[in-house]
Amino acid sequence: MKIGALARKTGTTAETIRYYERTGLLEEPPRTAGNYRDYGPTELARLRFIRRARDLGFTMAEVRQLLSLADDPSQSCEAVDSIASLHLREVDRKLGDLRKLRTELRHMVDDCQHGAVGECRIIEVLSG
């Protein structure tokens, strides 16, 4: 499978895949006679793993850790759990922040009387 096909199967782009390779998240695949990257099911599975983790908001550093943990199935999954739990707490924090922010924005927009900028509540709130 060439890089474009792999990209389509994983919802990425060729650029992103090459970027992952450059940064060591994906290993260098074998090449065809014409020097094209040639991917198989192993690389597909690995990239799918990476994409799922990224979609769940894990950083590339966390993905790297998760990948190396997944590579040793006999190990305790304590480390995996701790990465995921930490990330969950981080997401909870962000959710809280965003909810507060939303409330403020909502009030601001609701209070706007659609008059002149001089009396605009939005500008007033921002001006303090």
Site of interaction with a copy of itself (CB under 8 A): 45, 48-49, 52-53, 55-57, 66, 69-70, 72-78, 80-81, 84-85, 87-88, 91-92, 94-95, 98-99, 101-102, 104-106, 108-109, 112, 114-120, 122-123, 125-128
Q: Does 116 bind DNA (CB under 7 A)?
A: no
CB of 117 to DNA, least distance (A): 23
User: By C-alpha distance, which of 40, 44, 57, 33 is closest to 11?
Assistant: 44
Strand, coil or helix: what is 28? coil
CB of 29 to DNA, least distance (A): 8
CA distance 50 to 28: 15
Task: Answer for the pair 58, 69: CB distance below 8 angstroms, yes or no.
Answer: no
Take residue 81 and report the two structure tokens written for it: 């759990």
CA distance 109 to 120: 10
CB of 48 to a copy of itself, least distance (A): 6
Take residue 95 and report the two structure tokens written for it: 């959710």
Task: Answer for the pair 32, 46: CB distance below 8 angstroms, yes or no.
Answer: no
In the range 50-89, which residues lie near DNA by CB under 7 A?
Answer: 54, 59-61
Q: Does 4 bind DNA (CB under 7 A)?
A: yes
Residue numbers at the binding site for DNA (CB under 7 A): 2-5, 7, 13-16, 18-19, 31-37, 54, 59-61
